[in-house]
Amino acid sequence: MRWASAATALTPFHEAFLPRLGAALADAVKEYPIIWMQHSACSGCSVSVINTIHPSIKNVILDQILPGHQLFLNYHSTLMAAAGHLSTDAAMETARKHKGKYVFIVEGAIPTRDGGIDGTLGEEDGKPVTMLEWMRRLAPGAMAILAVGTCAAYGGISAAAPNPTESKGVRDVLRMLSINVPVINIPGCPCHPDWFIGTVARVLLYGIPPAKDLDEHGRLKIYFAKTVHNRCIFRDYLDDGVFASKFGEVGCMMELGCKGPFTHADCPIRQWNSGVNWCINASAPCIGCTEPGFPDAHSPLYQRR
């Protein structure tokens, strides 16, 4: 409406035209329904994203995240007031009404053993509906799938050995179900809110990223092209041969199991908790949480590989 008011200062429009102009501008806003489904996860990625500062989660959900682009969070079992059938019906209704136009956000790995019986969400006709079945129902009609967090991207902690539920990441599950929908991985334990907001904005502005913008693991290169080691604040200690032999000691933490040399993320320059700190600056070695194979492939976490 501010645009509509400004327009009258520049044109001879009669004030009766304002409501029509305002309605036309409202119609020009592109709407993107969101279904955010949590599977085998701790909800830590939801908590991390909710703590986004610029923009705030209120702005993300209630305002236009970009001029002319409005997200509608139609389903999120933790954030929405509805429960039971009222909530899951909202997810199915969104998928039916907006086929090919909604963004499906998956948090957590998907249990697949015995048809996915180890992980269920809601009931239908008195029987539990497996998370695997929700993937089968909701994934095919999505415009794109965002796998939020390392569990959704690669299986993560949910798929750690011995993995009795045979949990898998989103891409592996889609391959198993023969579903072909673009997937963008936003790993991390948890994922950084900037990585999530930035990926959403990238999709809204420019569409599905071409292959050249993604790395071999389906991550946007703008966040995951370089290793933690490449921009580490302790890099000089390595070059000078100064290594910490115990926690709290000054020096590169390679001997304490730091996984920075093969972990791709921009944590050193982005930091966490609104730029307050990050793992290595708090004297804790990088554990490689954004990489496929975490945590098994990196264990023992506090020993040099």
Q: Kindly list the catalytic residues.
A: 42, 45, 151, 189, 229, 232, 252, 258, 267, 279, 286, 289
Q: Residue 292 and residue 299: Cα distance in Å, rounded?
A: 13
Q: Report d(CA 119, CA 147) in Å as an integer.
A: 18
Residue 289, number of CB atoms within 10 A of its CB:
23
Q: How far apart are CA 152 and CA 186, in angstroms?
A: 9
Q: Residue 138 in contact with residue 185, Cβ under 8 Å?
A: no
Q: What is the 3-state secondary structure (H, E, C) of 40-81?
A: ECCCHHHHHHHCCCCCCHHHHHHCEEECCEEEEEEEECCCCC
